[in-house]
Amino acid sequence: MQDLPHHYHATARAAADSHVALNTGDLPEIITAAPAEFGGPGDQWSPEHLLVGTVANCFILTFRAIARNSKLDWTHLECSPVGMLERVDRTTRFTQFTVNATLIVPAGTDTDKAQRLLHKAEAGCLITQSLLAETHLVADIIVES
């Protein structure tokens, strides 16, 4: 890892009646729009979906690093968070993320250790640690036969 602080940049562009184009450096452009719940077309990634997807992505990448450092073998991890958007004190914001994770591990794996590392990943995810919303992990571990 490079020394901190790290700086990340992005640019968003849109015309009055178009989708929003997100760009950063040489990465592929992402086209977004408002979600259907806010009157958008519902056929593009929205800021809300991107945020929930970012929680999932960060959780998996954090778990991967922790598992590697802890020498835990695993086969597959699926993470499907649900973000709850509510009105709090006249402000609409995400108040909670339920991080649903299913981890598949080889036979003979210490499942208690795997469970601890999943919780450590939840606590160490820099995205959820940067948000006001509470995070709850619902983890399921499947041992391959």
Q: How is the chain split into domains, by residue range?
A: 47-143
Cβ contact 102:93 at 8 Å = no
Q: Which CATH architecture best describes the domain 47-143? A: 2-Layer Sandwich (3.30)
How far, CA to CA in Å, does 98 sit from each of 8, 20, 95? 26, 28, 10
Strand partners, 135: 97
Band of pLDDT at residue 30, cut at 50, 70 and 90? very high
* Residues 101-114 pLDDT 10s: 999 999 999 999 99
The Cβ of residue 42 has, within 10 Å, a number of other Cβ atoms equal to 13
* Residues 36-65 pLDDT 10s: 999 999 999 999 999 999 999 999 999 999
8-state DSSP, 3: P
**What b/e string do you get for 100-120 counting C-beta neighbours within 10 Å, with b at 16 or more?**
bbebbbeeebeeeebeebbee
Mean pLDDT computed over every residue of the chain:
97
Check pLDDT > 90 for residue 1: no
